């Protein structure tokens, strides 16, 4: 009996010493539901989304009819939303989105008319209540810095820095009263603190404000700071480092930039067109490309807008009891007698009408009924900062000045073909 038990016990011990096999039980995997796609305040997963552009000759009614909305319903929509959105004003070339039912019929339920990449009008008629309202995408504003050096003109330099013309125009507007862009020299420099706007952090949708700038020209640093002095009106203006407003009563030129002064005010000028005889030239000729926009240099009322004799197409503006300006040889006029125009408004386009040998605008200037040279007159300035505001202003610009002064200029690069071409023609 003992002989049988002992081998059996040994066998059990051997089996019990063997390593047990571990059974791995996989952890449960959590299956996440896909995030809903939200746009314009709607869950797009609930609709068939149709993106398109309004074609020439298409109307709101035609588009709705194509997307299975019957005409009584179209008329009801147009009538109920007319105070918010006039469906007759939809324009060809504008993008739109239709949210349609998610079935075989794909009937339109929502019409989204896109004014631009940021703003849209949403017409919601999916339920019995019809509504129309404005929608604006969330925009992220990013502060940027840039520094540049003039090699030919401001436009070419800004373009080389990958900056768009709208920012160039803003800079020109800021310095329109204090800087003659025709007289920019190679080596002049500028720095800007400005804003760029983005949708979804990546889609550029334009520029915000230019917070501060400095233009180094002729050995002088011309600073410009955007500041709201009037807490009630809250209208921002640009001031220099001493608190003087950059805006003046009159712009330096009726052409924004890219012009040249081909003839100045000269009472003893000999004019080839009149047989080289001495004939007073009581204006300043700004030569520019045919069709260039002409601005009024100050706000006022149009007292003459006509085509007559050697003046060709011209506009005359009375600014106040002291000053009047006139703009000659226009291709076409953009204002009528009695119109009130604001400084910088477009009143016409450069042409060659009347007695002229090339495209230009002859700019004439009256003071107390007598024609004078505006470049020799001490013209009125806008109001400076009030004394009690100046301490606040000086504290406000301190960090901006430090920031401007710390911006580094990029290392000079070889001139581009475009820049060399412009330099060669100047």
Query: What residue spans define the domains of the chain?
Result: 39-136, 140-248+408-419, 260-376
Structure token pair of residue 207? 């520029």
What is the per-residue pLDDT for 155? Answer: 87
User: Which residue's structure tokens are 């849209």?
Assistant: 120
What is the per-residue pLDDT for 394? Answer: 96
- Dihedral over Cα of 198, 204, 207, 212: its sign: positive
What is the per-residue pLDDT for 28? Answer: 72
Of the candidates 196, 212, 213, 195, the residue with the CA atom closest to the CA atom of residue 204: 196
Instruction: Output the CA angle 128-133-136, nearest 5 degrees.
Output: 140
Instruction: Centre a 10 Å sphere on the Cβ of residue 100 and count the other Cβ atoms it contains.
Output: 19
Radius of gyration for the chain, computed over Cα atoms and rounded to the nearest angstrom: 35
Of the candidates 114, 101, 100, the residue with the CA atom closest to the CA atom of residue 50: 100
Q: Do residues 114 and 120 touch, judged by C-beta distance below 8 A?
A: yes
Helix (H, G, I), strand (E, B) or coil at 153: coil
- The alpha-helical segments, DSSP class H, found in 25-118 are 60-66, 71-80
- Cα–Cα dist 386/397, whole Å: 16
What is the per-residue pLDDT for 16? Answer: 52
How far is Cα of residue 286 from the mean position of the Cα atoms in its chain?
26
- The alpha-helical segments, DSSP class H, found in 198-242 are none
Strand partners, 212: 193, 225
- Cα–Cα dist 208/218, whole Å: 29
Classify 140-248+408-419 by CATH class: alpha beta
The phi and psi torsions of 244 (rounded to 5 degrees) equal: -90, 135
The phi and psi torsions of 3 (rounded to 5 degrees) equal: -65, -30
Q: Do residues 96 and 52 touch, judged by C-beta distance below 8 A?
A: yes
- Cα–Cα dist 239/183, whole Å: 22
User: Which residue's structure tokens are 């997307």?
Assistant: 67
- Cα–Cα dist 26/381, whole Å: 81
User: 260-376 belongs to which homologous superfamily?
Assistant: Glucose Permease (Domain IIA) (2.70.70.10)
Q: Flag whether the pTM goes above 0.75.
A: no
Strand partners, 337: none
Tell how strand 360-367 and strand 283-287 pair up.
antiparallel
Q: What's the DSSP call for residue 230? A: -
CB-side neighbour CA atoms (13 Å) of 240: 17
Of the candidates 207, 213, 169, 164, the residue with the CA atom closest to the CA atom of residue 191: 213
What is the per-residue pLDDT for 228? Answer: 92
First to last CA, the chain: 124
How far is Cα of residue 104 from the mean position of the Cα atoms in its chain?
44
Where does residue 220 rank: exposed (0-12), middle (13-18), buried (19+ CB within 10 A)? Answer: exposed
Helix (H, G, I), strand (E, B) or coil at 236: coil
Reading the chain (426 residues) residue by residue, the pLDDT tens digits are 445 555 555 555 555 555 555 667 777 777 777 788 899 999 999 999 999 999 999 999 999 999 999 999 999 999 999 999 999 999 999 999 999 999 999 999 999 999 998 999 999 999 989 999 999 999 999 999 999 999 888 888 999 999 999 999 899 889 888 887 777 888 899 999 999 999 988 899 999 999 999 999 888 899 999 999 877 778 899 999 999 888 888 888 999 877 888 888 886 666 665 666 667 788 889 999 999 999 999 888 999 999 999 999 999 999 988 899 999 999 999 999 999 998 889 999 999 999 888 999 999 999 988 999 988 887 777 777 888 999 999 999 999 999 999 999 877 666 666 666 666 665
Where does residue 109 rank: exposed (0-12), middle (13-18), buried (19+ CB within 10 A)? Answer: buried
Q: Domain 39-136: which topology?
A: Nuclear Transport Factor 2; Chain: A, (3.10.450)
How far is Cα of residue 131 from the mean position of the Cα atoms in its chain?
31
- Dihedral over Cα of 252, 254, 255, 256: its sign: positive
On the question of a common fold for 39-136 and 260-376, the answer reads no
Structure token pair of residue 304? 């003459």
- Cα–Cα dist 51/56, whole Å: 16
Residues whose CB is less than 8 angstroms from the CB of residue 414 and which lie 6 or more positions away in sequence, other chains included:
none
């Amino acid at each position: 009996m003992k002989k049988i038990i002992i081998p059996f016990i040994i066998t059990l011990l051997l089996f019990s010493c063997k390593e047990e096999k571990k059974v791995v039980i996989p952890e449960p995997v959590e299956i996440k539901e896909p995030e809903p796609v939200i746009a314009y305040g709607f869950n797009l997963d609930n609709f068939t989304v149709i993106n398109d552009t309004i074609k020439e000759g298409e109307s709101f009614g035609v588009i709705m009819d194509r997307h299975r909305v019957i005409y009584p319903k179209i008329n009801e929509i147009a009538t109920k939303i007319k105070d918010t959105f006039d469906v007759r004003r939809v324009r060809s070339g504008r993008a739109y989105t239709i949210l349609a039912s998610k079935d075989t019929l794909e009937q339109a339920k929502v019409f989204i008319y896109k004014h631009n990449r940021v703003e849209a009008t949403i017409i919601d008629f999916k339920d019995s209540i019809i509504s129309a309202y404005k929608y604006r995408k969330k925009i992220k504003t990013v502060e940027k810095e840039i520094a540049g050096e003039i090699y030919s003109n401001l436009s070419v330099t800004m373009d080389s820095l990958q900056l768009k013309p709208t920012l160039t125009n803003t800079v020109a507007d800021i310095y329109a009263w204090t800087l003659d862009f025709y007289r920019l020299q190679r080596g002049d420099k500028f720095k800007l603190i400005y804003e760029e706007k983005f949708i979804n952090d990546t889609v550029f949708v334009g520029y915000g404000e230019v917070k501060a700038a400095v233009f180094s020209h002729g050995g002088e640093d011309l600073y410009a700071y955007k500041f709201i002095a009037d807490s009630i009106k809250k209208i921002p203006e640009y001031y220099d480092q001493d608190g003087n407003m950059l805006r003046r009563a009159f712009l330096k030129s009726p052409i924004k930039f890219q012009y040249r002064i081909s003839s100045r005010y000269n009472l003893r000028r000999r004019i080839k067109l009149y047989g080289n005889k001495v004939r007073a030239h009581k204006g300043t000729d700004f030569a520019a490309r045919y069709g260039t926009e002409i601005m009024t240099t100050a706000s006022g009322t149009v007292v003459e807008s006509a085509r007559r004799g050697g003046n060709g197409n011209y506009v005359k503006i009375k600014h106040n009891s002291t000053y009047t300006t006139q703009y000659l040889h226009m291709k076409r006029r953009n204002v009528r007698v009695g119109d009130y125009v604001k400084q910088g408004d477009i009143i016409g386009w450069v042409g060659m009408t009347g007695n002229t040998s090339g495209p230009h605008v002859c700019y004439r200037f009256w003071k107390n009924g007598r024609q004078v040279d505006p470049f020799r007159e001490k013209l009125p300035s806008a109001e400076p900062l009030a004394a009690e505001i100046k301490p606040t202003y000086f504290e406000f610009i301190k960090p901006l000045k430090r920031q401007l002064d710390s911006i580094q200029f990029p290392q000079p690069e070889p001139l581009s073909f475009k820049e060399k071409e412009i330099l060669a023609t100047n």
